[in-house]
Amino acid sequence: MTQKTNSFKCYPLGDAAVVIQLGDQISPAINARVRAICAYLDEYSFEGFIEYVPAFTTVTLYYEPWVINYTKLLPLLQEMANEVLEEQEVPSGPILEIPVLYGGEWGPDLDFVASHNKISTAEVIALHTAPEYLVYMIGFAPGFPYLGGMNKLIAAPRKDTPRMKIAAGSVGIAGEQTGIYPIETPGGWQIIGRSPIDLFDLNREVPAFLKAGDKVRFVAISEKEFKKIRRVKDGD
């Protein structure tokens, strides 16, 4: 099978950023290439480099144009690509378990997701906790993961009217996507549960719990376990 995964394209995003495009669809293979570029940049950057942002098929690099311009940058990126993308071995990210208390006041839309798909709430939970999800990218809000791998049998449309407040830790479904809200924000996702762990915590050295390339599994917990984890977190 010779799936074409070696595409590499650069184009400018204005006068202080450049996009490296590594494919045009959501796939674990392309994500591995995105991660390879990021891993390389963590080790070796170039003068004028500020930071990078990985996405589904791209890595965007921000740079200081008074240190290096676009024309001078291109051959550097090509060189990097030759070096990085040759070896297809990318260390896979860790598998992180996220405990979730499903249903009730913690997941007010669990019943809707079940009835929408004509299955029981227990089946929704079983289908949601089964897969190993891949974090393709972080965006929208601090630490908010775009996860791939949800079973379509639990897909559900967004709410017609978004909620003004969704609590931090809420686990939701929107279309064929699932996600978890790291901070309290307004939002239109169907909320099926809540995790007691902090996905975004400024007191940690790395505030965001998840990063692109990580793998995630949701684990159903009881209210008692939820409260126990919260008590430990809150330190009393």
Partner 1 sequence: MGIKVLKAGLLTTIQDAGRYGYRKDGIIVAGAMDAHALKLGNMLVGNTDGEAGIECTLMGPLLLFEEDQLMAITGADLSAEVDGIPVPMWRPIYVHKGAVLSFGQARSGCRTYLTVHGGFDLPQVLGSYSTYLRAGFGGWEGRALKTGDLILFKSAAPMLPLGFNWSLSPKMYQRSQDEVIRVVKGPEFDDFHEKSIAVILTEKFKISKEADRMGYRLEGEPLKLHKKKELLSSAVTFGTIQVTAEGNPIVLMADHQTTGGYPRILQVAGVDLGKLAQFQTGDLLSFELITLAQAQALLISAEQEVRQLKQTLTFKYPVNG
In the complex, the residues that contact partner 1 under the rule CB under 8 A are 11-17, 19, 24-26, 38, 50-58, 60, 62, 65-66, 69-71, 137-144, 146, 182-183, 185, 200, 202, 206-208, 211-212
Q: Which two tokens stand for residue 58?
A: 């791209």
Considering beta carbons, is residue 108 or 139 the nearer one to partner 1? 139
At 170, which amino acid appears?
S
* Max Cα distance, the chain (Å): 59
- Of the two residues 200 and 226, which places its CB atom closer to partner 1 in the complex? 200
Rounded least distance, CB 192 to partner 1, Å: 22
- CA proximity to 42, closest of 94, 7, 91: 91
CA distances from 132 to 24, 108, 184, 186 (A): 23, 24, 25, 27
Cα–Cα distance for residue pair 200/181, rounded to 1 Å:
9
Nearer to partner 1, 131 or 207 (CB): 207
Q: Which is nearer to partner 1, 15 or 234 (CB)?
A: 15
CB closer to partner 1, 6 vs 69: 69
**Interior/surface letters 91-108, b for 16+ CB within 10 angstroms, e for the rest:** eebeeeebbbbbbeebbe
In the complex, what is the shortest distance from the CB of residue 80 to partner 1, in angstroms, rounded to a whole number?
Answer: 17
- Shortest gap between Cβ of 64 and partner 1 (angstroms)? 9
| Amino acid occupying residue 57 | T
Tell the smallest beta-carbon distance from residue 123 to partner 1 (Å). Answer: 30
User: Minimum CB separation from partner 1 for residue 225, in Å?
Assistant: 28
